Amino acid sequence: MTDYISPKQFHDSEGVEDWRVLSDGACAYFRTRSFTESARFVQAISQLPGVDDHHPDVDLRHDGVTVRLITVSHDYWGMSQRDVKVARQISSAARELGLHAYPSAVQSLLIIPGSPVRAEVMPFWRAVLGYEPRGDSPDEDLVDAHSRGPSFWFEQMDEPRPDGGGAIHVAIWVPHEHAEARIAAALAAGGRMVRDEFAPSWWTLADASGNEADIATTMGRD
Q: Which fold has domain 4-105?
A: Gyrase A; domain 2 (3.30.1360)
The residues, ordered by sequence, that sit 6+ positions from 50 with a Cβ below 8 Å of its Cβ are 86
The predicted pLDDT at position 161 comes to 60
* pLDDT tens profile 167-191: 889 999 999 999 999 999 999 999 9
Render 94-162 in DSSP notation, one character per residue: HHHTT-EE-GGG--EEEEEEEES-HHHHHHHHHHHHT-EE-TT-TTTEEE-TTS-SPEEE-EE-SS--T
The predicted pLDDT at position 163 comes to 59
The predicted pLDDT at position 221 comes to 82
* Residues 13 and 85: beta-carbon distance below 8 Å: no
* pLDDT tens profile 120-152: 899 999 999 999 999 999 999 999 999 899 999
The predicted pLDDT at position 157 comes to 84
The predicted pLDDT at position 160 comes to 60
Separation between Cα atoms, residue 41 and residue 65, nearest integer Å: 8
- Flag residues of the chain having pLDDT under 70: 1-2, 160-166
* Residues 112 and 155: beta-carbon distance below 8 Å: yes
The predicted pLDDT at position 165 comes to 55
- Residue ranges, CATH 3.10.180.10, the chain: 108-216
- Residue ranges, CATH 3.30.1360.20, the chain: 4-105
Which DSSP state fits 74? T
Q: What is the CATH number of domain 108-216?
A: 3.10.180.10
Separation between Cα atoms, residue 175 and residue 140, nearest integer Å: 24
The predicted pLDDT at position 74 comes to 83
Separation between Cα atoms, residue 47 and residue 37, nearest integer Å: 16
